[in-house]
């Protein structure tokens, strides 16, 4: 709630400390500050009515230093009591008179001639009826902006005062805008103002001259409507930056460039700052773009300078060598100097003791350099050599062409990164992977053996027990069933349950390890096709040109499991209506293929996590010493091919690096 400085009224004293406190209170609120210059409060009711208009009002007594008090308060508007009488000994307002308004006119003149108060609106207020008169005209000539009566309603008082406050704020804003535009038009940087819709509301003279347009041709336009296509930043990204500044209120820096019609590239460093009004609200963005092309060119020259290059190269742990167009070395860094002679033909041919024994021929290396000179395309090669103590050192060498200002090739730069530790880690990793895969083989073999054992026990032990149970129940029914109907009903149910248990045990044993596998892979595949055909609506077709496929029992199991997993996936996920399974011999390999006409999938899409079915298929293919391939396209089905050697590979399997 707004209030005066002490209930009901506190006159501002000449004490500076008091004024500072008052000013601090005023600045902590957003309501306008009204200063009332009077000998005494006109009436407590009038003061209260003015205060009720959401203003902060302070009484400023007419004393010797009343201007200092006004300077400390700096009100937004001044109300001037026309019934003032000068009681100051040297206030400069003339002799003491009781003529109404005469001293008020003198005060108004003094306010309008005082530097800090000349822009503050002054309104005369009286308790007399206001009528056109020479006195009122004198008030306006003295600098007053209005003449009010204390008897006016609160609404009219507020409306009159608000009108002059708004006019003052508008004039102040226009003055600031003129100052801003005068400043902006006088600097070479590009200055653009945007509203909250990212439309330009102002561009300075430098911006208009650069694009050869009048200011009114670019105002009110969103940047996306006339964005330069050669700019290195898109209009969408620029607009996104503007929106972020409006949202966060933080200053953002952008660096970009564009190509002019004559082919010149202009570089800009742009600052985007929030445009904030007097109420502290963000009303848009101010963009200041500075042409940094000369600085950019200077920076590029510095980057190309030999001194900067040497500073970088000589402190680098990498091997760095520079060659001219004749492939003569023009520079080697200290890191290379420690291994001097590695890439030098003379020392290479002489097998230098310091460098050791390189594993690449010098003629191959210089042929690679020549190729880069001719094509300008960078190349990588591996440089390895044995030190005198037998240790192997490895470096990944990168050859790039150096270009001049016009883009021509002026030489070569060779950089070598020490990858000895990485190579050693790769070796250990490969050995670990080989051991892990051998363990996988053992695990898979053990799992199949366990399945075989469990299937045999289910078939032999459990099957025998269930058969005995059925026989005993049947015997019990034959002996006592006719005489005891209840017993006959119970034994009948037991026999049906035992029959179902026998069927379940037989199916379980078959699923664990089909006995048909003992007859060979061909018969096993035929049985599997019949089983899947009976249990689904998919049409399964088996293509086998002959029946003499010799395959060891353990390898037949692995091939059978791969096909089984493939058919399971088809039934569950593919939505196919037909599946073709084929087995054929190609040279010294067998090839198993499962192809469906289902929905297919995107091979380039990352596989789902925890998809262990495909992992198991790959492991079994690895145990067979073969390769599993997938071919699929959305809407065109999926094909899985397993190709493995007819002859069983050695237990010491050598895995390719890309396995």
107 neighbors 122 (Cβ within 8 angstroms)? no
Q: What is the mean pLDDT of the chain?
A: 77
Which range, of 84-93, 304-313, 528-537, averages the lowest pLDDT?
84-93
Give the three-state DSSP class for 520: coil
Q: How far apart are CA 391 and CA 418, in angstroms?
A: 14
Question: In terms of pLDDT, which residue wins out, 97 or 477?
Answer: 477
- pLDDT at position 460 is 72
The most confident of 1-5, 527-531, 651-655, by mean pLDDT: 527-531
420 neighbors 392 (Cβ within 8 angstroms)? yes
**Residue 29 pLDDT class (50, 70, 90 cuts):** very low
CB-based burial of residue 493 (10 Å sphere; 0-12 exposed, 13-18 middle, 19+ buried)?
exposed
- pLDDT at position 473 is 82
**Residue 493 pLDDT class (50, 70, 90 cuts):** confident
Which range, of 28-42, 132-146, 214-228, 536-550, averages the lowest pLDDT?
28-42
Residue 92 has pLDDT above 60, yes or no: no
The radius of gyration computed from the CA coordinates of the chain, to the nearest angstrom, equals: 49
**Residue 515 pLDDT class (50, 70, 90 cuts):** low
Residue 342 has pLDDT above 80, yes or no: no
The tens digit of pLDDT for each residue in 379-402 reads 888 877 777 677 778 888 889 998
Task: Convert 218-253 into a string of H (helix), E (strand) and C (coil).
Answer: CCCCCHHHCCCCCCCCCHHHHHHHHHHHHHHCCCEE
481 neighbors 491 (Cβ within 8 angstroms)? yes
Q: How far apart are CA 500 and CA 310, in angstroms?
A: 86
640 neighbors 594 (Cβ within 8 angstroms)? yes
CB-based burial of residue 200 (10 Å sphere; 0-12 exposed, 13-18 middle, 19+ buried)?
buried
Residue 428 has pLDDT above 70, yes or no: yes
- pLDDT at position 121 is 92
Residue 346 has pLDDT above 60, yes or no: no
Which range, of 10-24, 241-255, 420-434, 549-563, averages the lowest pLDDT?
10-24
- pLDDT at position 274 is 92
Residue 348 has pLDDT above 70, yes or no: no
Q: What is the mean pLDDT of residues 425-434?
A: 78
CB-based burial of residue 476 (10 Å sphere; 0-12 exposed, 13-18 middle, 19+ buried)?
middle
Residue 301 has pLDDT above 80, yes or no: no
- pLDDT at position 8 is 32
Question: In terms of pLDDT, which residue wins out, 49 or 381?
Answer: 381
- pLDDT at position 158 is 86
Q: What is the mean pLDDT of residues 49-69?
A: 81
Q: What is the mean pLDDT of residues 538-547?
A: 83
- pLDDT at position 341 is 52
The DSSP 8-state label assigned to residue 608 in this structure reads P
Residue 269 has pLDDT above 50, yes or no: yes
The most confident of 355-369, 426-440, 529-543, by mean pLDDT: 529-543
**Residue 25 pLDDT class (50, 70, 90 cuts):** very low
Q: What is the mean pLDDT of residues 413-430?
A: 82
**Residue 575 pLDDT class (50, 70, 90 cuts):** confident
Rounded to the nearest 5 percent, the helix, strand and coil shares of the chain are: 45, 20, 35
pTM of the model: 0.37
Residue 87 has pLDDT above 50, yes or no: no
Q: How far apart are CA 139 and CA 159, in angstroms?
A: 20
The tens digit of pLDDT for each residue in 442-461 reads 776 677 777 777 877 777 77
Q: How far apart are CA 299 and CA 257, in angstroms?
A: 15
**Residue 244 pLDDT class (50, 70, 90 cuts):** very high
- pLDDT at position 122 is 92
């Amino acid at each position: 709630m707004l209030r005066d400085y002490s209930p009901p009224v506190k006159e501002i004293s000449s004490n500076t400390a008091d004024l500072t406190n008052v000013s601090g209170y005023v600045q902590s609120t957003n309501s306008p500050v009204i200063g009332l210059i009077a000998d005494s409060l006109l009436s407590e009711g009038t003061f209260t009515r003015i205060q009720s208009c959401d203003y902060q009002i302070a009484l400023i007594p007419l004393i010797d230093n009343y201007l200092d008090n006004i300077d400390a308060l700096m009100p937004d508007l001044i109300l001037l009591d026309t019934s003032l009488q000068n009681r100051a000994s040297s206030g400069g307002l003339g002799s003491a008179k009781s003529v109404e308004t005469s001293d008020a006119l003198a005060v108004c003149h003094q306010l309008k001639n005082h530097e800090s108060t000349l822009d503050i609106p002054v309104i005369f207020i009286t308790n007399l009826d206001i009528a056109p008169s020479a006195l009122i005209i004198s008030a306006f000539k003295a600098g007053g902006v209005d003449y009010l009566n204390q008897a006016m309603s609160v609404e009219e008082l507020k409306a009159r005062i608000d009108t002059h406050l708004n006019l003052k704020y508008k004039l102040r804003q226009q003055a600031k805008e003129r100052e801003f535009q005068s400043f902006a038009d006088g600097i070479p940087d590009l200055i653009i103002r945007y509203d909250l819709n990212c439309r330009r509301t102002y561009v300075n003279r430098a911006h208009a001259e650069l694009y050869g347009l009048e200011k009114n041709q670019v105002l009110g336009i969103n940047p996306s409507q006339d964005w330069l296509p050669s700019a290195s930043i898109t209009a969408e990204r620029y607009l996104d930056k503007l929106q972020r500044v409006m949202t966060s209120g933080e200053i953002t820096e952008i660096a970009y460039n564009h190509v002019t019609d004559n082919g010149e590239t202009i570089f800009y460093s742009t600052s985007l700052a929030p445009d904030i009004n007097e109420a502290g609200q963000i009303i848009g963005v101010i963009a200041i773009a500075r042409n940094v092309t000369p600085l950019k060119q200077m920076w590029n020259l510095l980057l190309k300078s030999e001194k900067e290059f040497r500073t970088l190269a000589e402190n680098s742990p990498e091997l760095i060598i520079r060659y001219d167009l004749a492939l003569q070395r023009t520079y080697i860094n200290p890191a290379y100097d420690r291994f001097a002679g590695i890439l030098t033909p003379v020392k290479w041919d002489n097998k230098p003791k310091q460098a050791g024994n390189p594993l690449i021929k010098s003629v191959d290396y210089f042929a690679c350099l020549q190729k880069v000179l001719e094509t300008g395309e960078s190349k990588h090669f591996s440089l390895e050599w044995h030190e005198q103590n037998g240790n192997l050192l490895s470096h990944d060498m990168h050859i790039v062409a150096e270009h001049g200002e016009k883009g021509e090739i002026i030489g070569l730069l060779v950089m070598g990164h020490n990858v000895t530790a990485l190579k050693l880690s790769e070796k250990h990793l490969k050995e670990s992977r080989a051991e892990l895969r051998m363990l996988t083989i053992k695990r898979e073999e053990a799992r199949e053996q366990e399945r075989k054992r469990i299937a045999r026990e289910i078939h032999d032990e459990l099957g025998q027990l269930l058969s005995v149970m059925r026989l005993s129940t049947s015997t019990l029914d034959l002996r006592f069933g006719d005489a005891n109907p209840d017993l006959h009903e119970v034994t009948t149910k037991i026999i049906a349950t035992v029959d179902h248990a026998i069927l379940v045990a037989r199916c379980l044993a078959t699923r664990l390890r089909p006995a048909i596998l003992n007859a060979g892979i061909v018969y096993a595949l035929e049985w599997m096709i019949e089983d899947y055909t009976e249990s689904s609506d998919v049409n399964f077709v088996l293509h086998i040109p002959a029946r003499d496929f010799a395959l060891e029992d353990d390898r037949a199991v692995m091939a059978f499991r791969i096909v089984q997993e493939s058919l399971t996936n088809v039934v569950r996920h593919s939505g196919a209506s037909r599946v073709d399974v084929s087995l054929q011999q190609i040279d010294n390999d067998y090839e198993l293929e499962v192809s469906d006409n289902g929905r297919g999938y995107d091979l380039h899409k990352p596989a789902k996590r925890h998809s262990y079915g495909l992992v198991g298929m790959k492991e079994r293919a690895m145990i067979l010493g073969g390769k599993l391939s997938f071919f699929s396209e959305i809407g065109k089905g999926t094909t899985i091919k397993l190709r493995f050697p007819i002859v069983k590979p050695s237990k010491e399997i050598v895995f390719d690096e890309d396995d």
